[in-house]
Amino acid sequence: MDTPRKLNLRFSWEAMLCVVLVMSLGLGRGLSGEFLGAANMSNLLADFTEIALMALPMTLIIVAAEIDLSVASVMGMSSALMGVLWHMGLPMPLVVVLVLAAGVLAGLFNGLVIVRLGLPSLAITIGTLAMFRGFSYLLLGDQAIADFPANWTTFGISTVGDSFLPQPFILVILAAIGFTVLLQSTAFGRSLYAIGSNQTAAHFSGVDVARTKIKLFVLSGFMSALAGIIYTLRFSSARGDNGEGFELSVVAAVLFGGVSIFGGKGSLVGVLLSLLIIGVLKNALTLYDVSSEVLTIVTGLLLLSSVLVPNIAERLRAARIKRVMAAKAVAAR
């Protein structure tokens, strides 16, 4: 569980993220005069909509000391399934329901295998990452389906009124509010911190660890399928490789947001700030014609720093406390 000292550390990390966000905005403005324009801001928000939808449940999973590396593959499988079902002649509302149900089943499969077999989520979801991606190619191969109805694809590319806010981003705002309340203000959220801090202690204090973990992976599958639907409508294209590699950005956003890879610590406020920073940096560098390979390196550096910086800070703090204690011991002699 979080102690007051740990809460202070987390606040410092979030304050640091605010500073980095302001610096990133300044960098973007310096690299391109178009950066702060309404059209570019709309593109910026649209581009990390799917990442944000998958990062929200991933935050809860990592707080509970687990991980789901199959999110991007579930997203791709959902996109491919959406195209196939639409081509079969099913109405779009039914297609959406069936795709979301498939995402739930994928998450349930992950959760059941991890909990019932007692295996690490890292190993299991690496396996299902490949399996779900394989299903995507099995459904569509290297083909693409792009003839979705205009009234649905319009939702994927339109803004709210005359503002720069993309319509799909409304889902991110609503989901962010819901997940923040769930994690920070409910017994379920507190049970995740307890599981992440000490799973055995959480079990003996009355938390149903197995059922809680299954719920987390089901939630992750649902949100990944939703991300697949939004991505397909935004680009009006269902493909088996949609979202390929997105899992790196999702994990990077969560860890850079201050969520401990060891579980038991983190907040969605930090993750939302992290998402904005990554979105701003990618957008700014893209406007500056930086290659996708360099963008991947930047994402990797953020991921690396999110693990190293808190670890170094914690060691420095421990060393400082040790020095103070030693000084007090000498003074007491």
pLDDT in tens, 52-107: 999 999 999 999 999 999 999 999 999 999 999 999 999 999 999 999 999 999 99
pLDDT (tens digit per residue) in 149-190: 998 999 888 899 888 899 999 999 999 999 999 999 999 999
**What is the model's pTM?**
0.87
- 159's enclosing H/E stretch is none
Q: What is the pLDDT of residues 266-291, one digit of tens each?
A: 889 999 999 999 889 888 888 887 77
Question: 297: pLDDT confidence band, cut at 50, 70 and 90?
Answer: confident
Instruction: Report how far residue 37's alpha carbon sits from residue 22's, in angstroms, rounded to the nearest whole number.
Output: 16
Q: How confident is the model at residue 3 (pLDDT cuts 50, 70, 90)?
A: very low
* CA dihedral angle for residue 226, residue 68, residue 57, residue 24, rounded to 10 degrees: -90
Query: Quick count: other Cβ atoms within 10 Å of Cβ 186?
Result: 11
DSSP 199-222: HHHHHHTT--HHHHHHHHHHHHHH
Residues making up the chain, counted from first to last: 333
